[in-house]
Chain A
Amino acid sequence: MRVELRGITKRFGSFTANDAIDLIVEPGQIHCLLGENGAGKSTLMNIVFGLMRADEGEILLDNQPVRFSNSGDAVRRGIGMVHQHFMLVPVFSVAENVVLGFEPTKSLGRLDRRRAHSEIRALSEKFGLEVDPEALVENLPVGLQQRVEILKALSHDAELLILDEPTAVLTPQEIDSLMDIMRSLADDGKSILFITHKLKEVRAVGDVITVIRQGKIIDSVPPTRSEGELASLMVGRDVNLKVTKEAVHAGDPVLELRDVVVRDDRGITVVKGVSLDVRSGEILAIAGVQGNGQTELVEAIAGLRRVESGTITLGGRDVTNRTPRQILDAGLGHVPEDRQRDGLVLSMSVEDNLVLNTSRRAPFARRGTRNLAAVTANAEELAQRFDVRTTSVKSPTGSLSGGNQQKVIVARELSRPLTCFIAAQPTRGLDVGSIEYVHRQIVEQRNGGLGVLIVSSELDEVLALGDRIAVLFDGGVMGVVEPTMSREEIGMLMAGVGPS
């Protein structure tokens, strides 16, 4: 399908998120959109998908102007979309989520669950995206939820596929297979709009790369441009894509895990006796394919999940099965994997989210009353430092772009006194400029003597940040290795193959 956008403009109050955007996607083309956090990419995609209405401009599909009154129309016209923040109902099963809106039925409007399940199985098989159709979405780690979201978009044989950061939480293998899927769909003449912050992916799969900055199109370039060039086009300055780290000076352990056993929501033991030490002044990175227990392990450390047996010691104090507040007060900084569920209160302002776990204390509260001036001042300083793009720190956090929401959490957690910092996918959805900044912050904290635990599905990030790398497989530690180990060897460990 040929897609043409003409002069699309979208304003939120006085703020212009999309400014007269013209864009053409040819049939069979993989068109990449690059842009900083808050550049207006998701907004534009939501307009194409009929979720938002443009203030000006028009959309043409195969040279026919269209006006969607809702996204059901868009789907019927052959558009499928993977949303940056998954549009999944947590209490529904995978199958229910995938068929929602287009359900197979029997007589009396009864849902045909059996057919839904077999359709999902067939889809999974066809695209190599394995997932249990009967599992409840809320029980799945984000990586699997991402698969569900992709399956949902693929389930209608869309002629135009919009992928808004589909790879943010996928493993390298999954990313490769998604790219294969994209290529073969494009070869069939389908058009694809692909948003990602990972320059490698853009260059590997894109036919055209369009760069958006502050709601305007800056340039369209071929994928032959180097990563450095793309990065500076995006941010408007040179970006250092390499993490520079000083030599490690590790001290005493600040976080000690001893034989920690944790179950998942279904009661299955998924962390099977993990023992690890995070020492002050070092970064321990956990590598592993999603679903090998890392999600549950992090939740257990943060007090969000029960530890069945074993102990967790933070800064010398036993914090096993303490409440999240006790653990945070004991000096744990935590960036959760699912930012919208566990990290933010979306309907509350940015400034309030920035003090979510410190609002009880001075200077934000005094004798039980809040000091709102201090809250605002804190927010303004952090927004400046971490480059949180928002019209005002009093805006609801839900109105921020995905990457900027992530920055709010990172800023909050890194701005209080900590003994240990633990982050799951800390740079999920951040643009290259922000990744550079967050990585530098993490390294600086580590230089200042903080113990850091990073969980990332991004092997590059693990290798770049980790002073030591722990590989998790099937709920156990396969080994703790140096970052100098080759990617292949680490990949073997991640697949459960031990060193011979």
Chain B
Amino acid sequence: MTDVAITSTSTRSDVVPHGRTRAIGVLMIIVGVFSAWAFGLGSVADAHSAFTFTPVNVSSAVPWSLGQLTVLTRPTNLVLALLMIGLGVEVYVRRPSAPLVRFSIVAALFLIALLFWACRTPGPAQVPFVNLTSVLIGSSAIAMVLIYGSLSGVMCERAGVVNIAIEGQFIAGAFFGSMIDSTTHSFLLAALVGALSGAALGWILAFLAIRYLSDQIIVGVVIVTMMSGLSSYLNLQILTPYPNLNVGNIASNIGVPLLDKIPIIGPTLFNESGFFYLMAVLVAAVSFALFKTRWGLRVRAVGEHPQAAESVGINVARTRYRNVVLGGTIAGVGGVAFMATQGQFQVGYTSGLGYVALAALIFGRWKPSGAVVASIIFGLSAYLVNALQSYNVPLSSEIIGMFPYIITIAVVAGLIGRVRPPAADGVPYRRD
């Protein structure tokens, strides 16, 4: 039946209607106008926002102190809003073929303006100042987990299997990771076991998708549902009665000599846990392997046109198995990494991060580097959701929580240039 599976149908760049690029320009302008109105004019004229940069927890270790920066909220936010509007107008008028970068900048500016507005004095928040370095550290913790998840997605989807089960693999990794770390006090062992549990779930997905040609989305959702049920059952049966199985250590940070002394980015990027550095290595390794090596060429061929891959002797099923299991492994480690930043396993505490990671994968156009950019923006917005709650701002955090999804919808709708998944992504492949 080699002929039957859908062969790629590609849309050509010309086919993307120009109106869509215009639409995204309009969207950017609307976001800018909204920011001007809500965050600029929404603050009283003499309101100001204050920031500090010296990280609280490691302040003794850094040889610098940047003091405090105070800006007038209204004019600052109006300038930021003008920038957004300007970028929107540019996209509307010049219709660049790939407005993704401009769109990402507008998204980031929006979040920054929101932060300025939320922490202004006088205002409802009553925060004397916001520690910007802490914001970045907090966001990078979430971004790290998202990157693990979206890398897992890249591995699977580049080979043509949709991995919706990332959330389930996170849960498994976090659950077993916590148990192992609590008993052995070794995050290395925890990571290994988390990796194994993710790999096992990946194997189940691969087995059902490849052997039985099941719908990958459904299998993925089933795996997530199963894991959330299972984890809450096991939590009740094992972790609750034996609390020393779930003590919730946080992985300690390892500073990179010298680099960790750089203001702001030092504490954010170079004083992190081993999981963070492992993530960085994985991003580089996956990028390299996918786009520079023979292995990557074959994987991509399988994800784009399995019949063609088969016709030159590439084993489609084996490639897919291997990648989905590897992807599961990465997501499993991601679950442990999450637990190592959040502490104690709790039922449901991954709170859909696995799905956000999928969104980051799409926003990042199935590329590791793109997924990193998307994860940073999503991580920032996820962190702000929590921060705003503690600032007490009169804005529902659920609304901000929608942010990653809204921009993902914009991306998937093709508003921001052309997003093209691997042509055979999610399509079961059957040999004769």
Contacts and interface: CB of A to CB of B under 8 A. Distances in A.
A161 B304 CA distance: 26
A27 to B, nearest CB: 24
B233 interface: no
A87 B4 contact: no
B7 A52 contact: no
Contacts of B420: 91
A119 to B, nearest CB: 15
Interface string A266-310: 000000000000000000000000000000000000001110000
A340 B8 CA distance: 9
Interface string A72-99: 1111100001010101111110001100
A102 B312 contact: yes
B432 to A, nearest CB: 4
A15 B147 CA distance: 50
Given A103-B294, A399-B4, A83 B12 contact: no
Contacts of A91: 8, 10, 300, 304, 420, 423
B66 interface: no
Nearest to B17: A323
B294 to A, nearest CB: 4
Interface stretch (A105-113, A193-201, A375-383, A458-466): A105-113
A306 B14 contact: yes
Contact of A103 (B5, B297, B300): B297
A165 B307 CA distance: 18
Interface string B1-19: 1111111111011110000
Interface string B53-66: 00000000000000
Contacts of B10: 90-91, 138, 341
B308 A100 contact: yes
A265, A398, A399: residue with the most chain B Cβ atoms closer than 10 Å: A398
B315 interface: yes
A100 B304 contact: no
Contacts of A102: 312
Interface string B278-301: 000000000000001111011011
A255 B43 CA distance: 61
B309 interface: yes
The bracket for how many chain A residues form the interface is 35 or more
Contacts of A97: 308
A499 interface: no
A390 interface: no
Interface in A321-351: 340-341, 345-347
Interface in B373-431: 420, 423
B310 interface: yes
Nearest to B307: A87
A103 B292 CA distance: 12
A88 B311 CA distance: 10
Nearest to B304: A89
Contact of A90 (B5, B14, B294, B305): B305
Contacts of A100: 297-298, 301, 308-309, 312, 314
A304 B295 CA distance: 35
Contact of B305 (A51, A74, A87): A87
A421 to B, nearest CB: 23
Contacts of A101: 298, 309, 312-314
B430 to A, nearest CB: 11
Nearest to A10: B432
A101 B309 CA distance: 8
Contacts of B312: 71-72, 75, 87, 100-102
A213 interface: no
Contact of A111 (B1, B13, B293, B304): B293
Nearest to B305: A89
A441 interface: no
Contacts of A71: 310-313
A90 B8 contact: yes
Contacts of A265: 12-14
A51 B308 CA distance: 10
Contacts of A396: 4
A224 interface: no
A389 interface: no
The bracket for how many chain B residues form the interface is 35 or more
A55 to B, nearest CB: 10
A49, A87, A346: residue with the most chain B Cβ atoms closer than 10 Å: A87
A1 to B, nearest CB: 18
A70 B308 CA distance: 12
Contacts of B301: 89, 92, 100
A92 B313 CA distance: 17
Nearest to A305: B14
Contacts of B14: 263, 265, 304-306
Contacts of A313: none
A100 B303 CA distance: 14
A109 B7 contact: no
Contacts of B311: 49, 51, 71, 81, 83, 87
Nearest to A152: B312
Contacts of B304: 89-92
Given A70-B315, A101-B298, A111 B5 contact: no
A96 B310 contact: no
Interface string A434-447: 00000000000000
A90 B423 contact: yes
A124 interface: no
Contacts of B12: 138, 265, 304-305
A123 B301 CA distance: 22
A51 B2 contact: yes
Contacts of A89: 8, 300-301, 304-305, 308-309
A448 B300 CA distance: 50
Nearest to A303: B15
A214 interface: no
Contacts of A81: 311
A396 B6 CA distance: 10
A72 B313 contact: yes
Given A90-B10, A108-B293, A398 B308 contact: no
Nearest to A86: B308
A105 B301 CA distance: 17
B5 to A, nearest CB: 7
B309, B311, B423: residue with the most chain A Cβ atoms closer than 10 Å: B311
A53 interface: yes
Given A53-B432, A89-B304, A399 B1 contact: yes
Contacts of A357: none
Given A70-B313, A71-B311, A101-B314, A346 B6 contact: yes
B12 to A, nearest CB: 6
B138 to A, nearest CB: 37
A220 interface: no
A171 interface: no
B3, B292, B314, B420: residue with the most chain A Cβ atoms closer than 10 Å: B3
Contacts of A83: 311
B295 A109 contact: yes
B424 to A, nearest CB: 10
A46 interface: yes
Nearest to A156: B312
Contacts of B15: 304-305
Please list the 7 inter-chain residue pairs (A to B) with the smallest Cβ-Cβ separation, ordered nearest first. Answer: A72-B313, A101-B312, A87-B308, A52-B432, A87-B311, A398-B4, A109-B293
Given A71-B311, A100-B301, A346-B7, 17 more contacts: A71-B310, A71-B312, A72-B313, A72-B314, A73-B313, A74-B313, A87-B305, A87-B312, A89-B304, A90-B423, A91-B420, A92-B304, A100-B298, A111-B293, A306-B14, A340-B7, A347-B5
17 contacts: A52-B2, A52-B432, A70-B313, A70-B315, A71-B313, A81-B311, A83-B311, A87-B312, A96-B297, A100-B301, A101-B312, A110-B292, A111-B292, A263-B14, A305-B14, A347-B6, A398-B7
Interface of A: 46, 49, 51-53, 70-76, 81, 83, 85, 87-92, 96-97, 100-103, 105, 108-111, 138, 263, 265, 304-306, 340-341, 345-347, 396, 398-399
